[in-house]
Structure 1
Amino acid sequence: MKRTSGIINPQLSRVIAECGHTDAIVVADAGLPIPLGVERIDLAYREGSPAFLDILDSVLEEFIVERAVISGEMETESPGMLAAVKERLEQFGVSVEAVPHVEFKALTRDARAIVRTGEYTPYSNVMLFSGAPF
């Protein structure tokens, strides 16, 4: 469910608006495999652009999140990115659950959409589950 009208990418804006309670959107790095049948919103246009955190910030401005899941490997492979993700989600009262990367990839099969960024930092992926405005 949309929080504001700030995202101008029509595909991303539509997906956020279409989400209901517990639907999931994944903000992903450039390397995350996207399962067949899951909508791909490919924003990447070169290495590092757009940055994962820029897209995450934009999504969090509009998307009501009640839960978030990351790959546990982010803790050891990209601790700086993990700290940045946690900091952003904590602003909305959302804690982060870590699961093995294999399990994370399996969870993405049920995502409403995966937003691919140009991020090259390993394991920079987060699955955001929609909350409700009431």
Structure 2
Amino acid sequence: MKKNGMLNSHIAKVLADLGHTDRIVIGDVGLPVPPGVPKIDLALRLGTPGFKEVVDAIAEDMVIEKVVIAEEMKAENKETLQYINDTFRDCEIEACPHERFKQLMGDAKAVIRTGEAKPYANCILQAGVHFG
């Protein structure tokens, strides 16, 4: 048994297989998953697990160079926006319209569904490279 780090075997496999610029999505309970993109469903009930909890766990194991969020988060979910800005202050953060966000999901390696029930609590994490 793995001692620490990402214990979810499906997420651990996706993270291990990521190359530079590959993307994964962490989404709220209502985010639609494009056909053909694998979904890892962590949702147990509304709010569990939360978006922040899942993002924190993944960020511990993933080199992240860029984060994409929906522009609508700025008006509809300021708490999550602040969390994204604080957590990823050393990364590029791109905001785009939610419809564009959903289009970008089409080439993701996986969508990880949380139980989060707040609007626009979604992000695309783009893999960087670890040289050290």
Q: Give the TM bin, normalised by the shorter chain.
A: over 0.9
* Residue equivalent to 1:110: 107
Aligned Cα root-mean-square deviation (Å): 0.7
Residue 95 of structure 1 and its aligned partner are, at CA, apart by 2.9
| 1:22-101 matches, cutoff 5 A | 22-90=21-89, 93-101=90-98
Structure 1 segments, 4+ long, off by >2 Å, are none
Count of residue pairs the alignment pairs up: 128
> Percent same amino acid among aligned pairs?
42
How big is each residue's C-alpha offset from its partner over 1:56-101, in whole Å with a ceiling of 9 and x where there is no partner? 00000000001110000000000111001111111xx113110000
1:129 aligns with 2:126: yes
Contact 1:86–1:95 (8 Å) recurs in 2: no
Contact 1:26–1:111 (8 Å) recurs in 2: yes
Paired residue type of 1:114:
V
> Matched residues in 1 for 2:112 and 2:85: separation?
19
For structure 1, list consecutive stretches of 5 or more residues without a partner in the other structure: none
For structure 2, list consecutive stretches of 5 or more residues without a partner in the other structure: none
The two structures have a TM-score, normalised by structure 1, of 0.93
